[in-house]
Structure 1
């Protein structure tokens, strides 16, 4: 009997997925941050080209460090962020995934994504992950280690940006890593371009690159090597751009990886198959897909997910979000043409959802138990750091991309944002977002059944 059939056999009838679900309270228990402009030096054997990053984020090559101001883009108000490209060194920038299993010293394995947002503009952005240690007593975050991805054994099945070098360090032109788990001394990373699963040694060396299979067929996206333009959405590729693995959870007991796509799959004609995301299970021991797949239904207004981690053998947390950025209290007035001091698309849906993976209906939907609202966090003890809290009302986490969640203990979770340096704000108009880590007390959410 397959794992999927075994689960279905134990399912109970579920309410209609569109019905309102319970919203649980969240209280801020700690707040820490890594400054937005945090840089790391490349390894000594890295090509000199990688010592200046962000040279290709504009319309033409630019090698003059700190010469072009970052901007959130016209859609989000055209605000400058106060931090300029290119960088001398590599930007640590936003966190794009927490591993459920911590390092021996208690620090968190945290992943940085492809660099500057696309395959085209990130050939000089190195790929790496870190050990991060937030200190909520001081409000600081210490980067204890950075591990750079490289391909010394030529495991990557296509030409990489640094193909002609001895070190063969990987960049954002090769992969877009978005989720990470630590299993039996090695790492598994879910990425978006393939989408692929990357099996990685403790030192960052690539061990395997595994394509995605759903119902026996390989999934591809517009940035998958081998997909040629012109290509028809839904026919030549099914995964949306920036729609690969944003979340990948490690299930205790089974040690299966539950890999969740960020956005709905495409169908013939270019539309999507629905307001749900595919979840496929993978067996790291066998290095193969199990053949089982499930569905996560997005709530109204949500467009994507940010992270996915189990809290016990069957319950898991998922971040779901809209594409908004900035506190609604600073939203632009309807029809405003001057957006220099306001947010034209403020954050509205930033939830952390509790799932019951042992309860799946006949159509494959995983049961949503309830959620907390990251735009409505109580702060009765004044834990929010100065300069990073609203003038009034509850504490909010109003960032465009919130991509990290993990259980800390029976009553607390850790949440962090991806600040897309230097292209996102969210706290203050005209200021780049920091890498914020928040500790939330959510006992009702974690104990809900």
Structure 2
């Protein structure tokens, strides 16, 4: 009898894990060039006119003097763009808001600058309204809004604490997800992790720490966490493991905030192959106390974005840490990696989940997915220089951090190009900010 029950349990587990793969067709392609800069506001401190001075072993005040590269994990390929920048880089598209602006443009977000709290004190934080044109292949930056804290709502000392303008930088927050609701912006941060409520002019209105099961969550970069600290004891959120995705549920005013990586257990190791999702009530300005789990597929290590398509179903970008086309993978043990990818992209997906369908442990039901490494392009929509020599179109970037429903048949995605430290499209060339329009009617109709 126990043997029969075991077989039944295994069968049910297999059925629960079954997930349909749907086709994707490229319907549009637009690019914001990697080397796109914006001038700081007139009242910003003068030192913020030079960004990226602290990304090396020593301070560097000589503009455009040190070329970026992808680092040893990814072959140390040069990217052709040098730091520090004169002006602020419009890079790292890290989230799409579900609701568009009144003129139809999309709210999108630039991340904290150069990848960490330590190296980004001269990287300003801002969000944009952008309008990709899939006919011309260009992306219009309609507006850029810089985040600032003139009313001292941030509950800790910021990098520009003593300035009158109090502009926020990548030493303060790591903004990775964005939503637009009732004339205000909501931003998910990775350092705290925090949720920020922001006015359309960039003023911080409130900052909210994260509560899970009655306890405050913290990471190694949370203000108040001191080093040395014991992972799993002093903090449970992994570095760069905060709110990479934060979906706004239509009609409810609830933010579903999803951590990028698994939480740490008491032993300092990941608690499992799943991500925590907590709900926040924007009307009350507080957590609901409800939490859920998103199961990562085999080979996936993190998520990139999270957005609803209706009242209960939502899209999640799921990824591994790879970068570059697998067709150009380095041979095992290859000493020369200058013309190949040592850690190519293998798992890059958009997953459809049903938030209204959970099991006893709170796992969201995975309905199906599309493979971003196998996108048909029968109409030749891929821009020149942005597609493989052979096979289908791919989106083989390390961090793909933007997805949103456009209509009943289409979704739009964009990458975070980690300027100037990521390639992925061409070896020896910094990745552009690419926007792609995918026709995926079967995925969007799936229940």
TM-score, normalisation: structure 2: 0.97
Q: Distance in 1 between matches of 2:391 and 2:270?
A: 38
Q: Partner residue of 2:405? A: 407
SS in 1 for 2:17: coil
**Aligned partner of 1:157 among 127, 136, 155:** 155
Q: Partner residue of 2:48? A: 50
TM-score, normalisation: structure 1: 0.96
Shift of 1:254: 1.1
Residue 260 (structure 2) pairs with residue 262 (structure 1): yes
Q: Partner residue of 2:332? A: 334
**Aligned partner of 2:31 among 25, 33, 42:** 33
* Equivalence map 1:72-151=2 (5 Å): 72-151=70-149
Unaligned runs of 5+ residues in structure 1 are 1-12
Q: Distance in 2 between matches of 1:358 and 1:174?
A: 35
Q: Partner residue of 2:417? A: 419
Q: Distance in 2 between matches of 1:19 and 1:237?
A: 31
Q: Partner residue of 2:225? A: 227
Give a deviation string over 1:295-342, Cα, whole Å, max 9, x none: 000000000000000000000000000000000011101110100000
**Aligned partner of 2:69 among 68, 71, 90:** 71
SS in 2 for 1:346: coil
Contact 1:90 1:126 in 2 (8 A): yes
Contact 1:14 1:361 in 2 (8 A): no
SS in 2 for 1:446: helix
Unaligned runs of 5+ residues in structure 2 are 1-10
Q: Distance in 1 between matches of 2:384 and 2:15?
A: 40
Q: Partner residue of 1:183? A: 181
Q: Distance in 2 between matches of 1:352 and 1:14?
A: 24
* Equivalence map 1:325-364=2 (5 Å): 325-364=323-362
Shift of 1:348: 0.2
**Aligned partner of 1:198 among 196, 199, 207:** 196
SS in 2 for 1:162: coil
SS in 1 for 2:272: coil
Give the superposed CA RMSD: 1.0
SS in 2 for 1:384: coil
Q: Distance in 2 between matches of 1:267 and 1:126?
A: 34
Q: Partner residue of 1:377? A: 375
Shift of 1:16: 4.3
Q: Distance in 1 between matches of 2:184 and 2:233?
A: 35
Contact 1:234 1:266 in 2 (8 A): yes
* Equivalence map 1:281-296=2 (5 Å): 281-296=279-294
Q: Which runs of 4+ in 1 moved over 6 A?
A: none
Q: Distance in 1 between matches of 2:327 and 2:345?
A: 10
Q: Partner residue of 1:278? A: 276
